[in-house]
Chain A
Amino acid sequence: MIPHKINKAAKQILAEVISNKKFGPYHHIVFAVGDMAASIKPGNFVAISVGGEQSSLILRRAFAIYRAIDKGPMGGSIELVVAPHGQGSSWLCARAIGEFVDLIGPLGTSFGIPTSNANAMLIGGGYGSAPLFALAELLKNRGCRVDMVLGASTANKIFAPLEGKRTVSSLTLTTDDGSAGIHGQISEAIPRLIRELGTEVIYSCGPMGMLSAIAKIAKEFDIAHQCSVEESMACGIGVCMTCVVPIRSEENVKMVRTCIDGPVMDGSQIIWDRKEVSDLMGL
């Protein structure tokens, strides 16, 4: 049965910015979150108020957690990788050390870990790779082989910090423009890698188009696929019903909230083809 409640550990706090550094086209921001850090699992996200009190931006922004450190020098902390795309994310990237943000977390589901040692492939698109490094560490500690595949439109948009690279058995890069690694879309490289590496389970995070392509490949190879999806959210806590994705159910289609039943979901359950959804709904 699908859970209907939000992450039991979720709390609303004021979190202090303790570091904010540029990392290529992204910002790597660290927040002091105290006890919250201990309850965070790879795949969880946080929802942050943006724009300050007088802002015309009234909705929270959701960010996947890159890393959580339980007991660091500043107590518990979480780290985010943020691309300053829109007004909200640009505001967040402009926060100085010592400023506070209104943050709710941890939210959503986390990546499931195989019960026995398995060959895992972690696939990240752009800064979608961020939550995969904590997962890689966890899988490695459980004795899994971890192969990572990171892709982006161009080389500097691949988020792959040094310490993250060390936790994986292999790292393959792809770029749409050929500026680094394999030339082409990330999904084109996957089938060959699955065969070569003997992949038994896939974890993915990135744009919906990429996740959809990987879901198709996972189905062809008949291997498990957990993906972290991204739909625009207004609240992050399950009340607004805007962030839904269609999944297969007895009544054809069911719209589930990605803030509660996701962001990590079983890729084979999601109906990726929009036309199929419309047809099933009789639209």
Chain B
Amino acid sequence: MSTLDFSTKIGSKRFSNPIFTASGCASSGQELSQFFPLTELGAIVTKSIMTKSRTGRLTPRMAETPSGMLNSIGLQGPGIDAFLENDIPWLVEQKAKIIVSIAGETVDEYGVLSRRLRAVSGISAVEVNISCPNVENRGQVFACHPDTSVAVIEAVRRNIGGELPIIAKLSPDVTDIVEIAAAVINAGVDGLALINTLLGMVIDTNSMRPKLAGKTGGLSGPAIRPVAVRAIYQVHQAFPNTPIVGMGGVASGRDAFELILAGASAVSIGTASFGSPNAAMLVKSQLSDLLIERGFNDFRDAIGFAHRGL
């Protein structure tokens, strides 16, 4: 019987296994906890939390596409106060490893959110979502420009203090993702989350209008997996020492393994949880079997394996 060291590291923090949830795909954990104990996850990544409560967009917010879906939620959420009061204590009580995802409309808001998080115990990392496509103005997607990305990360770094690892979540909708990655790594992030959804649109041919109330939405699901693999591969090649939390259409152990071979140190399960609440558990057990089958004793030896001998 082979044994596998399944643990992984992001910055200073160690996680028991590399399977995380993706932000916005696990709400705040309560719903999924009915199907499996959250302690089974390497970490739960919360929905992206903002300074104030947010209503989000009108419906329709969703359109299914071939092997994927578009969503246009618009970051609906309770705001940081209610989140810290209700959601975090509950997650801590469950003994879940928590990565808090934050999103702001301005650089200052990221600073404010970081300051609120610095005194909170029980958090393992902060994911800085600078790439949500569902904002009113595309110019607001910080991750589309190196300088705005850096401004946000510097604001977070200044305000968060201590050892809490900072993970920047980047958008694949850019000409050169390596350039953006270089900028945020220079600004001091401990890890990267790759990839956020791709901006897309579906037009209803009966009504002859865009199907989503927000017109455009973020494309996710297996349809975008090759884009995720490419982005992870390119960034890992340029920065092999920066841990990457990979995501994009992972629905099986094989899919997770593909992202790991490209360079991911952890893999987040997003849209697959919509199709099956225990998707993360399925991916975890299949990945573990696959790693053992391929002769890996240590999960970390598989990270970026596809780059070897090139």
Binding site for B on A (CB under 8 A): 4-6, 8, 10, 12, 49, 56-60, 102, 104, 231-235, 237-246, 251, 253-255, 260, 274, 277-278, 281, 283
Q: B56: which A residues are within 8 A, CB to CB? A: 241, 244, 255
Q: Residue A58 contacts which of B31, B53, B76, B271 (CB distance < 8 angstroms)?
A: B271
A-B contact count (CB 8 A): 106
Q: Does B151 contact A (CB under 8 A)?
A: no
Given contacts A234-B64, A260-B31, A278-B58, 7 further A-B contacts (CB under 8 A): A58-B68, A59-B69, A234-B62, A234-B271, A235-B274, A238-B31, A239-B32
Q: Does B60 contact A (CB under 8 A)?
A: yes
Q: CB distance A239 to B273 under 8 Å?
A: yes
Name 30 A/B residue pairs within 8 A (Cβ), A-sorted: A5-B30, A5-B34, A12-B278, A49-B275, A49-B276, A58-B64, A58-B67, A58-B68, A59-B64, A60-B275, A102-B276, A104-B277, A231-B59, A232-B59, A233-B62, A234-B274, A235-B277, A237-B31, A237-B32, A237-B34, A239-B25, A239-B32, A241-B61, A241-B76, A251-B55, A254-B55, A255-B76, A260-B31, A277-B58, A281-B58
Min distance, Cβ B80 to any Cβ of chain A, angstroms: 16
Find the B residue at minimum CB distance from A208.
Answer: B59
Min distance, Cβ B273 to any Cβ of chain A, angstroms: 6
In the complex with contacts A12-B276, A102-B276, A255-B76, A240-B53 CB distance below 8 A: no
Q: Does B221 contact A (CB under 8 A)?
A: yes
Q: B53: which A residues are within 8 A, CB to CB? A: 251
Q: Residue A242 contacts which of B59, B68, B273, B276 (CB distance < 8 angstroms)?
A: B59
Min distance, Cβ B91 to any Cβ of chain A, angstroms: 13
Q: B60: which A residues are within 8 A, CB to CB? A: 231-232, 242
Q: CB distance A235 to B59 under 8 Å?
A: no
Q: B34: which A residues are within 8 A, CB to CB? A: 5-6, 8, 10, 237
Bound-state CA distance A255–B32 (Å) is: 20
Bound-state CA distance A246–B35 (Å) is: 28
Q: Which 10 A-B pairs have the closest CB atoms?
A: A242-B62, A235-B274, A238-B31, A56-B67, A242-B61, A234-B274, A239-B27, A56-B66, A241-B73, A58-B275
Q: A242: which B residues are within 8 A, CB to CB? A: 59-62, 71, 73
Q: Residue A281 contacts which of B55, B61, B277 (CB distance < 8 angstroms)?
A: B55
A-contact 0/1 string along B41-68, CB 8 Å cutoff: 0000000000001011011111010111
Bound-state CA distance A232–B213 (Å) is: 13
Find the A residue at minimum CB distance from B28.
Answer: A4
Q: Residue A240 contacts which of B30, B35, B71 (CB distance < 8 angstroms)?
A: B71
Q: Does B304 contact A (CB under 8 A)?
A: no
Find the B residue at minimum CB distance from A236.
Answer: B274
Q: Does B243 contact A (CB under 8 A)?
A: no
A56, A58, A253 pick with most chain B CB within 10 angstroms = A58
Min distance, Cβ B286 to any Cβ of chain A, angstroms: 13
Q: CB distance A12 to B277 under 8 Å?
A: yes
Q: Does B264 contact A (CB under 8 A)?
A: no
Bound-state CA distance A5–B28 (Å) is: 11
Find the B residue at minimum CB distance from A6.
Answer: B31
Min distance, Cβ A258 to any Cβ of chain B, angstroms: 10
Q: A231: which B residues are within 8 A, CB to CB? A: 59-60
